[in-house]
Structure 1
Amino acid sequence: MTRPTVILFARAPRLGAVKRRLARGIGDRAALRFYAGTLAAVARPIARDARWRTLLATTPRGARADWARFAPRGTRRVAQPLGDLGARMAGAMRAHPVAVLAGTDVPDLRPSDIAAAIRALGRADAVFGPAEDGGYWLVGMGPRRPARPFAGVRWSTRHALADTLRNFAGRRVALLRVLRDVDTAEDLRARATLPPPRPPCEPSAPGGPPP
């Protein structure tokens, strides 16, 4: 049986080029330390897990980085497709019948979340990991997916998940636990006081997004 594919989006950790909104509150060097530490903490255990095959999709193209510091040696690395975030995500997932894609800047992302997403795809057409700010930290899709799954999405707004779910009308969708993206200094401070995450939701019936 073919293992599902897990695609981790990662940006080359360079001073002034990562977590820019966070850097406005804590400085470029602190933001780089946060991003590099989170990248390693997220990518290493996920890429080591034999239940799936992991691709590290990196940007910008041609950027030099010691990727072996952040993922196990032998982890396959590919360049992210060109275009906006939606085009890059769709392009990265297109060749894989069952694919889960996640970012590497969500500190609480664990292999157990990837496993939960893959289980959800056994009974749903798509799965999302909702973020508190209205976006999402993970998306997974099976073979029955829209031709343009990320069309018309207002990225970096509270509408991102709702916009995406509209593209999946008529398909069964599952939700994972809610996590908080760390995009600003306020997000970083709030991590210590987050409430317990909500349990995963069951897939929604065809015809609309989950409740």
Structure 2
Amino acid sequence: MRPRVVVLAKAPRLGRVKRRLARGVGEAEALRIYRACLAATLRRLGRDPRWDCVLAVAPDRALTGWPRPCQTRPWQTRPQGHGDLGERMLRGLAGGPGGRRRGPAVLVGGDIPEITAAAVAGALARLRRADAVFGPSEDGGYWLIGFRRPPRRTDLLAGVRWSSPQALADSRERLARAGLTTELADPLADLDDRESLRRWRRTARSRP
């Protein structure tokens, strides 16, 4: 089966996205940053022929107002469904509400400014020797999660301390309890708050 790349995204609406970031830079700037990151993600990943592309949206009825790259082929739009972040991610990796797909899949957020097709392909390659893969971020969370086979349960990540420095460690521990092996992909920054935005901008300016 062809692998799938799923992008988990909220409808880009003022006051509804990147709320922690908005507390530091304002709602309008947070929305601008989010739209730019999401559009770049869809453009970079959507033009790669190695995988099928799925955009998992919230709220479930939000099918309009998305950046142009997701309004055309190859992106298939699916609702995220109910539940906490872990449940929605696992449902997206399994093929959506009521769905069950075979083959490997990885899921990313829409707020990873340095995401590339090569980074995603590297994560998929790690699924040849592990049940699951995580792409770590510097704040203790992760920018990517993937499974070699669709997860059969949406409670595998129950109890993870989301939006905390323990999110990655908690997630790996939950999967280990379920008997699943994990590997780490290359780290990338995500833009969750004002400090992470500052760190990324400093790093971007220092590059040759």
TM-score, scaled relative to structure 2: 0.86
Residue 101 (structure 2) aligns with: 96
1:10 and 1:92 map into 2 onto residues whose CA distance is 11
* Ranges in structure 1 where 5+ consecutive residues have no aligned partner: 196-211
* Ranges in structure 2 where 5+ consecutive residues have no aligned partner: 95-99
How many corresponding residue pairs?
194
Q: Are 2:12 and 2:65, in contact at CA under 8 Å, matched by a contact in 1?
A: no
- Within the alignment, does 1:154 sit opposite 2:154 as a pair? no
Q: Report 1:24-63 matches (<5 A).
A: 24-63=23-62
Residue 77 (structure 1) aligns with: 77
1:115 and 1:58 map into 2 onto residues whose CA distance is 23
RMSD of the alignment, in Å?
1.9
Identify which of 166, 170, 180 aligns with 2:173: 166
Kindly indicate whether structure 1 or structure 2 has the higher relative contact order, using CA contacts under 8 Å at least 6 residues apart. Answer: 2
Code of the residue aligned with 1:131 in structure 2: it is S
Q: Are 1:22 and 1:31, in contact at CA under 8 Å, matched by a contact in 2?
A: yes
Shift of 1:163: 0.8
Shift of 1:71: 2.2
Shift of 1:68: 5.4
Identical-residue share of aligned pairs (%)? 45
TM-score, scaled relative to structure 1: 0.85
Deviation digits for residues 121-179 of structure 1 (CA, Å, limit 9, x no counterpart): 11111110011111111001012857442122111111111111112224332111222
2:16 and 2:151 map into 1 onto residues whose CA distance is 33
Residue 140 (structure 1) aligns with: 146
Q: Are 1:128 and 1:175, in contact at CA under 8 Å, matched by a contact in 2?
A: yes
1:163 and 1:146 map into 2 onto residues whose CA distance is 19
